[in-house]
Amino acid sequence: MAKKKFGTDLNVVKGLDLKRYAGRWYEIASLPTSFQPKDGEDTRATYTLKEDGTLDVLNESWVKGKRIFIKGNAYKADPRSDEAKLKLKLFVPPFFPIFPLFGDYWVLYLDTDYQYAIVGEPSRTSLFILSRQSRIDDKIYKQLVQKAVDEGYDVSKLRKTPQSKTPPPQ
């Protein structure tokens, strides 16, 4: 498949069920971002569905045993659309929520059982491979990475996120 260029449409999941999507997701791999520690471990995101249809977001990572976290929320970019294009608002730092960080959160792939997901955004500079489990089979990982490549992502800087055998408690 030919590599997609910046500015071309990404394939986005249609009919995302936010109730099923809510819950804990473990980061299996990601491209580096400015809002995450570069040497984070046991990175995970917890999404809690609110009555108004938005999601509370809690991103957590551990650096040298210390918990680093960011809170925020996500909402459908266009409530009339069935595409999984969300807007994300994170409060950086979380204890001083005056300066939110805004971004796109597009679910590019989701298996039918809501166990694996690929999340990205239009510029293709942000990419997350997520799983409900803290570890996944290498074959599945390679398939997910290939899906990202098929969407035009440069995965050369993709970092596998170290996950402990026993994830930190809630």
**Residue 93: pLDDT above 70?**
no
Domain borders along the chain are 18-154
Report whether pLDDT(81) > 70.
yes
Per the prediction, the chain carries an average pLDDT of 90
**SS3 string of 114-129?**
CCEEEEECCCCCCEEE
Residues 6+ apart with CB under 8 A from 66: none
* d(C-alpha 106, C-alpha 117), whole Å: 10
Which CATH superfamily is 18-154 part of? Answer: Calycin beta-barrel core domain (2.40.128.20)
Local confidence band at 38 (pLDDT 50, 70, 90 cut-offs): confident
**Residues near 80 by Cβ (< 8 Å), separated by ≥ 6?**
none
Q: What is the pLDDT of residue 2?
A: 47
Q: Is residue 91 very low, low, confident or very high in pLDDT (cuts 50, 70, 90)?
A: confident
Cα separation of 97 and 118, whole Å?
A: 28
Of 155 and 37, the structure prediction assigns the larger pLDDT to 155
- Distance of CA 95 to CAs 59, 72, 92, Å? 14, 11, 8
Q: What is the pLDDT of residue 100?
A: 81
